[in-house]
Amino acid sequence: MSVDEDTLAVYRNRVDDYKKLVQGVKNPDLDYFLKCLPNGARVLDAGAGPGLDASILKEYGFDVIALEPVAEFADLIEQRGIKTIRDSFDSITHKTEFDGIWAHFSLLHISRDHLPKILSNFRTAMKPGGTFVIGMKLGKGSKRDKLGRLYTYYSTDELIKLLTTAGFSVFRKRQYRIVGLAGDKESCIAIMANS
């Protein structure tokens, strides 16, 4: 599995806390992503959490599939009427199926040596000219936060190189700071790329 069990366990045990953290958060990256998608686009929300972003995508009339390995989150997503793949990122072996993939702060739990494979699989799963969004925390190395979740940190240049190597063409990036579930304020980046 591409995400370690200790990290998944934290999310299983903090479902309500995580829902409260992300509920009602205005996301300019999601707003921009919505504008990039064609009418009726097929979209993968990769690491969908409680399904809030997937729900917004569905409201806009997109054909949404959520990927979520945490059963408690997957239950919430399915209650919203969204098709859900209850599996890890490794399960995405589709070919030219998606107009967009939204991986907003989910791939940051993937180990450094495994991320290139996931990005390559995502690129293969996308239609030509599709839009991919990745949100990550900026920094160096890997470490667990005080809740026990494993994070892998990257520089902007590292991420762009990984995306380019996987066959993506970066067209937008935005850096900012957020306070996460562990309560720490950290530097982040959202990068958008075309397949």
Report the predicted TM-score, pTM, of the whole model to 2 decimal places. Answer: 0.92
Question: Averaged over 161-179, what is the pLDDT?
Answer: 93
pLDDT at 3 over 80: no
pLDDT of residue 2: 66
Q: pLDDT confidence of 178, banded at 50, 70, 90?
A: confident
Separation of alpha carbons 110 and 2, rounded Å: 6
Q: How many residues does the chain have?
A: 195
How much is the pLDDT for 25?
Answer: 65
State yes or no: pLDDT of 1 exceeds 60. Answer: no
Q: How do residues 72-114 score in pLDDT, each as one tens digit?
A: 999 999 999 999 999 999 999 999 999 999 999 999 999 999 9
pLDDT at residue 124 greater than cutoff 60: yes
What type of residue sits at position 43?
V
Query: What pLDDT is recorded for position 75?
Result: 94
Percent of the chain with pLDDT over 90: 75
Judged by average pLDDT, the poorest of 113-117, 130-134, 143-147 is 143-147
Query: For the ranges 33-37, 74-78, 145-149, which has the lowest average pLDDT?
Result: 145-149
Pairing of strands 142-144, 150-152: antiparallel
Q: pLDDT confidence of 14, banded at 50, 70, 90?
A: confident
- What confidence score (pLDDT) does residue 177 get? 84
pLDDT confidence of residue 10: 78
Q: Which of 11-20, 161-170, 181-190 has the lowest mean pLDDT?
A: 11-20
pLDDT for position 26: 73
* Mean residue pLDDT across the chain: 91
Q: Which domains does the chain have, with CATH numbers?
A: 5-194 (3.40.50.150)
